[in-house]
Structures are given as C-alpha cells and as structure tokens.
Chains A and B, each alone.
Chain A
Amino acid sequence: MTRVILMLIFFVLCNTGGELAMSYGVKQVGEPESFRPMALLRFIWAAARNSWLWVALPLLAASFYSLLILFSWAPVSVVIPASASNYIVGTFGAKYLLKEDVSFKRWLGVILVCVGVTVVLLTGRS
C-alpha cells in the first residue's frame, strides 16, 4: 500500500508540475500574433526554445508512465479519484506558483469538476 501511495503522490506531482511548467513557459513566450500558419510555426518554435517546456515534457512523460504503473498496482477506484485530484493540486499550484487569482467561484467550479470527473469515470457508461 505504501508504494501505491508514494506512486500516487509521484504521479500527481509530475502531472501538475509538468502542466504548470508548460503554462509558465508558454506565458513567457507570449500568445501567437495570429492564427496564420507562419505565426503558429513561429509560436511553436519559440515555445520549443523555452527551457520550461523541456522541464514540462519529462515530467508529463513520467506522469503518463506512473499512471500506467498505478493501473497495474491498484484498483481503478483508487487510481481515478487520485488522478482527478490533479484539478485541486493544479489550482493550488496556479495560485501559489503562477500567482493566479483564484476566486471562490473558481474554487467551487474546480471542486465540482473534480468530483464530477471522479463520478463519471467510476460509473462507466452502463
């Protein structure tokens, strides 16, 4: 059980860390000038040269593989709610690391999404 908990923590930290690093890096690059192909290519090129994106990619890859490992170690009913907790941890990261202003309404929305995703993924379609 300890290894499952440790892997869950590792997964959530890698996933949230990767997405936060990507968000931080892309904000440094700035938004594309337009949606023309050349402007989008310039945006992709600028993003590819940003070091935060290269921090994000291995973290996201590690989170993907740790999720696969988790599915082989623990029941889905344990893994799914833990993976949905990314929404909460990510919002904490956005508030304290990216200095975003997370209002009460946004928190309420994030919590509802987190619980809703857990319910949807656990019930399946039948």
Chain B
Amino acid sequence: MSHEHRLRFKTLVMVLLMVVCANTGDLMLARGMKQIGNVEISVPGLRHALLSTIQSGSIWIGILFLIGFTLCYMTAVSWADYSFVMPAGAFGYAVQTMLAIVVLHEVVSPKRWIGVAMICVGVLLVGQTKPNTTNPGPGVTGL
C-alpha cells in the first residue's frame, strides 16, 4: 500500500471513529439531560442541575465519547490537512439521518434528503483530494 493510500485509509478510519464518538456522545448527553429534566435558571436550580449531571451515568458516558471524539480529531489532524478532516466530519449529519430512519423510524423530509445528498457529494469530493498537502512524505513532521 502506498504512503498516500495508507494515509487516506487511516484518515477514513479516524473520521468514522470521530462520527461514531460525536453521535454517541451527543445521544448520551441528550439522554442524560432528559432524565434530569428541565433546568431552572436560578441558583438552587443550577446547583441541582450540576449535582444531577455529576451523578448521571449517561452524562459521564457522553463526556467519555466526546473526549474520544477530540482525541480522534487531534490524531487525524496530526497527519492530515485540517481542510480535509473538517468537512469530512460533516458526514455525521448523514449518519444521524440514517439512524433517525432506522432506529427511531422517523420520516425524513425531501429537503433534508437533498441536504444529506449535498453533504455526501461534498465529502466524496473532499475525499478524492490529497489528505496531506503540507507534509511531503513519511519521516517529515511539523509545518
């Protein structure tokens, strides 16, 4: 496998991990906050919300997944261009839509499908470009 193919492959794996971690993290945070209920904007209300979030398992799992997302993102941009990784991460919106249909059996509007298609085509176009344009090859680090 050539250097560029290897780079493309490992970037793709990292972007997929980023998408999984971000979506799962958001889902767990949303679940945790729903279990806590509406947050009252007052000193006792905020104190109660803070204590509830600290005690919530779902919130901690969500935070762990979001830390995982940040690590995957940092790892990906350590070898690939920022302008390559950043738009590729938008693929998560397409995954969210698929999950909404398959898991939640939601109806998706045609307008949203158009948006998802645009994201997929955009990510495919970005994916066809060279993942790293600032570092000519292996063994060379830094900018």
Contacts and interface: CB of A to CB of B under 8 A. Distances in A.
B50 interface: no
Nearest to A113: B122
Interface residues of B, number: 46
Interface of B is mostly: helix
Contacts of A26: 74-75, 77-78
Interface stretch (B20-28, B54-62, B105-113): B105-113
A124 B111 CA distance: 9
Given A27-B77, A27-B134, A109 B143 contact: no
B118 A23 contact: no
Interface residues of A, number: 48
Interface in A66-103: 87, 90-91, 93-95, 98-103
Interface of B: 71, 73-75, 77-79, 81-84, 86-87, 90, 93, 97, 100, 106-109, 111-112, 114-130, 133-135, 141-143
Interface of A: 19-20, 22-24, 26-32, 40, 43-44, 47, 87, 90-91, 93-95, 98-103, 105-106, 108-121, 123-126
